[in-house]
Amino acid sequence: MPHEQYQSCIDACYACATACDHCASSCLDEPDVKTMARCIKLDTDCAQICRLAASYMARGSEFAQTICQVCADICEACAQECAKHQMDHCQRCAEACRKCAQTCRQMA
């Protein structure tokens, strides 16, 4: 099955998407939401590309490596933004994004 060779990357992508969804939702509850706008936008982009990448890997698409390269770039941008904020949800998201970026780069 195509997905078995990518399982660790698929798992990292889904974990990252979940962390990004949680972070974006938590950012909306912060007192100054405007200062969190870029974080929320990147969280949303990152969660979506992670799910897309996992889907491409699961079906063994010939474009999986290309999507994973883009996914890694977006994960790194999200990690950098989240790392700027001291809230626990942002720090956990940054860590999940870094792990996903590393795993996607290894796959790509």
Q: What is the pLDDT of residues 49-102, one digit of tens each?
A: 999 999 999 999 999 999 999 999 999 999 999 999 999 999 999 999 999 999
pLDDT tier at 108 (50, 70, 90 boundaries)?
Answer: confident
Give me the pLDDT at residue 107, please.
Answer: 86
- Note if the pTM is more than 0.75: yes
**Domain residue ranges in the chain:** 2-107
C-alpha closest to that of 99 among 36, 2, 10: 10
Give me the pLDDT at residue 2, please.
Answer: 59
The pair phi, psi for residue 51, each rounded to 5°, is -65, -40
Give me the pLDDT at residue 94, please.
Answer: 98
Using a pLDDT cut of 70, give the percent of the chain over it. Answer: 97
Task: Tell me the CATH number for domain 2-107.
Answer: 1.20.1270.360
Q: How far apart are CA 38 and CA 52, in angstroms?
A: 21
